[in-house]
Chain A
Amino acid sequence: MEATHRTEWTLLATPLVAFLLVCLGFPAVVNLVYSVSQISFATLRQPEITGFGNFVAVVSDTAFWRANWFSLRFGLLTALLECLFGLGLAVFLAPLFKERSWPIAILMLPLMVAPALMGLMYRLVLHEFAGPVPHYLWAWFGDSPAFLGPNSAFWTLTAVETLQWTPFAFLLFHMAYQAIPTELREAAALDGATGLARFWRIELPLMLPTAVAALLIRFIDGFRVFDNVYVLTGSGAGGSTTSLSIYIYEAFFKQGAIGKAVAASVILFAASFAVLYGLNRLARRRRR
């Protein structure tokens, strides 16, 4: 019985393992080789293994740490804002969505726009001479801020990302909120709990797993941001809006420093794996 079970498991898992080996394993091996090689576009097929110089170059590059800091700040801030707004909308508009569900479709619209196109749209919308926002600010107040200036670009990018992805967080919270049994709310109301008390003591704790998942998903998405930032500000004045993805892209294509770019991606992969592994272990311990 045990042997049959093992054979079945092996048969079922084989296609998945083969897929992972081909689609992820091969590029991963190539990446590892390139990361310890001296390599250029002219020698892509003949990498010369030279050791860990690329890793040293990456960790001693202040631009790499600056890009990490940008990505970390951006990922954390946008994830937090999106989840706060998403939760707020899900709870505040719940009575409306109970009666009519079509407004949800309107809220979902930003998700349908490709991030690069969203960046392009805001590049137009915020342009002082072609965009409606600065136009009306000038008309009404006689001035308009530099939305993409060196001191405000980060906040503008954060706002753009938040506006686009809040609906995603909202959707998760909406589903979680709807899944809370009505009896619980009714019982709490009978016990005299106010709306605020019901939210803090019953609804929010029940939605906590959703909140953790939403925060994690949105953080990962924000941390690896590329498209809309690249279209709106590129890597920014003096590299001020260089996310880690943009750092790797520019090292690879713009500087032709392929080994360095790949080494940075290997470091990112290792760090991501370590964090996810740690979170997984933490979750398991809590379940026990």
Chain B
Amino acid sequence: MSNNVGIIGYGTYIPRYRIKKEEYIKTWGHFSGKIEEKSVIGYDEDVITMAVEAGYNAIHNSRINKNDLKLIAIGSVSSPYNVKSMASEVAMALGLPMDILLLDFTESEKAGTTALSTGIDIIENKGGYGLIIGSDAPLATPGDSLEHVQAAAAAAIVIGNNNKSIAEIVGKKTANIEYISDRFKRNGTKMMKDLEIAPYSNYAYNNTIKKTVNDLTDELKIKLNEFDHVYIQGHDSRQPTRIFKQLNKNKIYLDTLRIIGDTGAASALLGLNAILYYKAKENDRILIVSYGSGAGSDALGIKVNRKQDKINEIPTIDQYINRKEYINYEKYLKFKELIDLD
């Protein structure tokens, strides 16, 4: 990689509502996830509205002219449409130029980093800026273990030439190994399915992630422990902490998983936003690893140049995390349209 592309700015969106694991325990008798609470998408929200707010924040934090954007790439497994672009609606809402390249990625819960990785390659050749958004609110059948941790958020990044970047993207690798799906959603159905074959799922997770991370550390000639902050996408905080025994556990960033939950295709970019906001210092090295069932994983190596300046009118990730309204399980069912009125 010629290291020409970096992160110009980032922006986040997290819905206002939260549900605590105790609400699940009251209803189901147990809670199958190692998280404390999770975000819940509001009734008048979807992945498109969340993407618009995260994208707006990222553009403003980047202090770029939005007419210089050359592409918008969105990753999500929860588009409200099967046929119709998410990116098109978001571009209209943000007032982006009409010759912009629109990319939707929906292949798995790693779609957010697929968008980022593809965007990097295109901007490297084309110049200008790219707006990358992971926005998701995945949904499985209530009562399935998978559903307990499923949450909602969006995270956006503006990429562009490195000479103005707050962080450099120093390397990226992908690994795609077919594991006939342990997690999928059939056409015409609303719910994601997980066959819950734990040993198989764990094998797919570990094998795919280890492959992409090893490829990246080999290319960058760096040891895993030399990264200062690591984010590994997972359903809850157990998966990321189990995988690399040799990695200093304090370096694994888990906060967004523990308090926001599994945000699907937004997960990896949300983790990156949180590390850049809360943790990163000049010259810190960050490893971001995504995972999508099926199975695929992207690993990105990032070197920090500086913190992003705060713009007063743009809420930070910390403000979104602290803005919360707890709801009970009944309201949760209504918001998620799991009780049908017609």
Bind each other: no
Give B residues with C-beta under 8 Å from A: none
Chain A residues with CB under 8 Å of chain B are none
